[in-house]
A and B are shown apart, each in its own frame.
Chain A
Amino acid sequence: MAGPRAADCTEEDERRSEFRNIFEAHAPYVWRSLLGLGVPQADVPDASQLVFMVLYKKLHQLEPGCSIRTFVYGMCLRVASDFRRRGHRRHERLYADPPVVGRGANQEDRTSQRQTLLRMDAALARLNPEQREVFVLYEIEELPMIEVARAIGRPLQTAYSRLHAARKAVIAAMAPHLQEE
């Protein structure tokens, strides 16, 4: 006969199983999002761990019908904000080493890719945090705008306004290097 203790174990097993699925599905983009949101690269492992630890604790508060992805992004925004403040106080450069790029390219392509990414990261670093969040979520992570608005906790029009300002700033920052096809 299953008692309360056995039931607790089953519930915990289910929770861990669910969490494992979420981790495997979302770990890469949590890492990537934190990078895009300005977390110093040296801090991304710790920040990623923190995101998942908080997610594990708050999983039961997830609202029915809520997109897991949007929920996770919301946590990334909060953790990134904290780590950015700490990185600023330490006066660290954003990146000690350029982030991992795609595999399979030759040396010249990889060098070019690194430089392009560094320019993009420098352009993102010039944005204010609110604009950067919207830009990263919409342009890089390709969330629908309604999910972006949900993730940042602001009305849709506010998200659009921030995206508009971010786009102008990024284009201006990368203008000397932009070339259209």
Chain B
Amino acid sequence: MPKDEFATLSFSEPPRLGELAGPGSELSQAIAGARARGPSDAHLQALREAVWAGVAATAVTGAAAAAAHLRASAAPGAAQIGGGLGAAKVVVGLTFAGLLSAGTVIGVKGMMRAPMARKAESPSRLQPTQRTLADDRRSDGDESPTGPESAAQIAPTPMPASPKEAAVARAPWMSGTARRKREFAALREGDVPLPSATDSDHGLGLLARARESLTANPALSLSLTQEFGRRFSPGALDQERDVIAVEALRALDRRQEAIDRARQLLEHYPNSPYATKLGRMFPDDPIAPVVVPVAPVVRSRRQQ
């Protein structure tokens, strides 16, 4: 087995537009300016007061009281700031109560757990500056069965070069600055593709190979997902890995294993963006988990 150069999953993401444009360019200055703007101290203090007043109202009488609070007169100092916190226009048309009680899922798909599956968490989990997706993704206890081919038997496939690697290969004498300018010029012309799943990054490349092998060699595809799991899980691409594994199992006529794997995925991520695709793969076998809402009712966009 080749020596693993990466201890954790890494991504070859495209350079930020501000970097490509150059530190002194108007575009980079515009992006930096957008990044630097924020509330004034007065805005922040007014927001803090309004939010905590709303929290207190919620604690006393629930969501309805919080909604009423938002419709009530503005919080102290807020009237001096454009619009005014708690003004009536906030709630009309936006239905704060509706967002909470009408079953609308707010926020990130694939991240909202079914209430009954939620376990008590220690306060330390909510130190936002210390947590990332990659740091805290739990192992999904990969129980995928071994395929007929092991990773060691996989013939190495040349990895397509990333755009950056291709640029270096074409003009190795170019300095970093010159290459950046050339990339930005190409970007302005619209002919530099962003990194795709065939990028040479180990993790993404492995998944790309697994995806490409699905049709011609699903057994190889399954082995590659297992290899990915051994090297890069738990990680941010576990869902993508699982979807490919489900497809490979189904192609290998291991239908029940594929169904079990799909159910496992959706139990872990009930609002996964792949729920619709998985549901269509098994129209006669319901794979979405049954959720018993605790309170309030949260409408899920899971597809059956």
Q: For residue A52, which residues in chain B have a CB less than 8 angstroms away from its CB?
A: 47, 51, 54
Give Cα A97–Cα B44 distance, bound, in whole angstroms. Answer: 17
Chain A residues touching B, majority SS: helix
Q: Does B175 sit within 8 A of A, measured CB to CB?
A: no
Which B63-113 residues have C-beta < 8 A from chain A? 63, 66, 70, 78, 81-87, 89-90, 93-94, 96, 99-100, 106-113
Q: Is B193 an interface residue (CB 8 A)?
A: yes
Question: Beyond A22-B128, A67-B133, A157-B197, is A27–B83 a contact (Cβ under 8 Å)?
Answer: no
B155 to chain A: closest CB distance in Å? 26
Are B106 and A26 within 8 A (Cβ)? no
Task: Give the shortest distance, in Å, between A130 (CB) and chain B (any CB).
Answer: 14
Provide the bound-state CA to CA distance between A23 and B54, in Å. 13
Contact B129 A154 (CB under 8 A): no
How large, as a class, is the contact surface on chain B? Answer: 35 or more
A160 to B195, CA, bound (A): 8
B237 — which chain A residues lie within 8 A by C-beta? Answer: 146, 156
Known: A53-B54, A53-B66, A57-B100. A64 touches B38 (CB 8 A): no
User: Are A100 and B113 within 8 A (Cβ)?
Assistant: no
Per the bound structure, the CA–CA distance linking A147 and B16 in Å amounts to 15
Interface string of B24-66 (1 = CB under 8 A from A): 1111011101111111100110111011001100110001001
- With A67-B132, A116-B30, A175-B188 already in contact, the answer to whether A153 and B108 are too (CB < 8 A) is yes
Whether A171 contacts B123 by the Cβ 8 Å rule is: no
Inter-chain CA distance A108–B30, complex, in Å, is: 16
Interface: B126 (CB within 8 A):
yes
Q: Which of A16, A96, A167 has the most CB of B within 10 A?
A: A167
Quick one: closest A residue to B177, CB to CB?
A181
Is the pair B136, A174 in contact by a Cβ cutoff of 8 Å?
no
The 8 Å CB contact of B55, one of A19, A75, A155, is A19
Q: Report, nearest first, the 8 A-B pairs whose CB atoms are least far apart.
A: A153-B109, A74-B108, A65-B136, A68-B128, A74-B107, A181-B24, A120-B30, A181-B22
Q: Which residues of A contact B (CB under 8 A)?
A: 12, 14, 16-19, 21-23, 25-29, 31-32, 35-36, 41-46, 48-50, 52-54, 56-75, 78, 82-83, 86, 96-97, 99-102, 113, 116-117, 119-121, 138-142, 144-147, 149-151, 153-157, 160, 163-164, 167-168, 170-171, 174-175, 177-181
Other CB < 8 Å A-B pairs besides A119-B30, A154-B273, A179-B26, 19 of them? A31-B39, A49-B47, A53-B51, A53-B54, A56-B55, A59-B126, A61-B112, A74-B106, A96-B82, A102-B37, A120-B31, A139-B18, A145-B13, A168-B187, A170-B27, A171-B17, A175-B188, A179-B25, A180-B25
Binding site for A on B (CB under 8 A): 11, 13-14, 16-18, 21-27, 29-31, 33-40, 43-44, 46-48, 50-51, 54-55, 58-59, 63, 66, 70, 78, 81-87, 89-90, 93-94, 96, 99-100, 106-113, 115, 118-119, 121, 123, 125-129, 131-133, 135-138, 181, 184, 187-188, 190, 193-197, 234, 236-237, 240, 269, 271, 273-274, 298
